[in-house]
Structure 1
Amino acid sequence: MEVFSRADRTADAALIAGFALGDAQATTAFVRRFQHPVFGMAYSVTRDQGLAEDVSQEVFVRAWKAAGSYDVRRASVLTWLLTITRNAAIDAIRTKRPTPVDDDSLDPLLEATLQPPSAEDVALLSLESRQAAERLRSLPPEQARAVTLAVIGGCTAAEVARREGIPLGTAKTRIRTGLHRLRDAMKEARHD
């Protein structure tokens, strides 16, 4: 829960009013006041400094466009701005995602992933890719399918849910749990 004094809220409301009007001094003061929390939120979501910098710039553009509709009674300026930041960061991550594979290509991909490799495939695969495939096959089949659809197929959790005929929460859990298990297996392999 945020604790702001009435003076802080009044000062922030005055800053955003000047920002909305395009006042150069108010704009500079507004950006300086909120640049660190905005960048911090963007970085915590994206985990990429360059992308977080781009998101931060986008946030101030979005904030400027929406500043006239800001309502001090609904949230503090910081809360409002961090909400914009979170949404912009998620948008940026989504646009960076690989292009999803078309549905016709996913079935053979899933089959190949979940079937033991043939002798010819084993000969062609590098040690690293064999180990990754083995780790994927070590997952329960429903988690392996969800991870394959999400990571290799580029599907969102909602698309995985639709394709698998399961609730969205179940799809998210399968993806998250599968990825955690793969990460743990990789950490274990490094320590061996």
Structure 2
Amino acid sequence: MAQTRGDTALVARAASGSEHAFRTLYRAYARPVYWIAHGILGSAPDAEDVTQETFVVAWRKLPGLELAGESLLPWLATICRFQAANRLRRRQRELAHTTDEADERIPSLIDVEQQVITAELAARIAQELGGLSALDREIFRLCATEGYDYRAAAAELGVGHGVVRNRLSRVRTRLRGAVTETEPAS
């Protein structure tokens, strides 16, 4: 039988209650989820809270999830956007109770067009990541998501330092192309 690609096996184990599998998913996606939340909220503490809330919701909903692609990121991004929107609404309600004037620093509720662009971007990135070889996905995960340097990733994967550097460069170029294709025309 062919080895399962992407997050499918981890998601199945986490949905069955494996905390180890869920921790692995958390480590792989906490940073991207945080940056999505931070982009929406513009506040590091709120982004940290929303990241945690996103993974709490994900843990509860994993047993019913049927993973559409090979990456969990689009699903997590959707949960994150809803959690961030809830936080913005809560901020606006609290502000309305404390002042008659709206605070200009608080972002307005998420624009529907921006939500669609964000969802398309996450789906496009997930699609590109799914099309990578297993080695390229691991290199990307270790270096881009977990912060390994080239030498540490090379040692972890049992390949040369140059292999990691060259492959990561190609992966980043490919992902930049995916992001550029998703950006709206100015």
Q: Going by fraction, where is helix more abundant, 1 or 2?
A: 1
Give TM-score, length-normalised by structure 1.
0.46
Structure with the bigger RCO (C-alpha within 8 Å, sep 6+) is: 2
Give TM-score, length-normalised by structure 2.
0.48
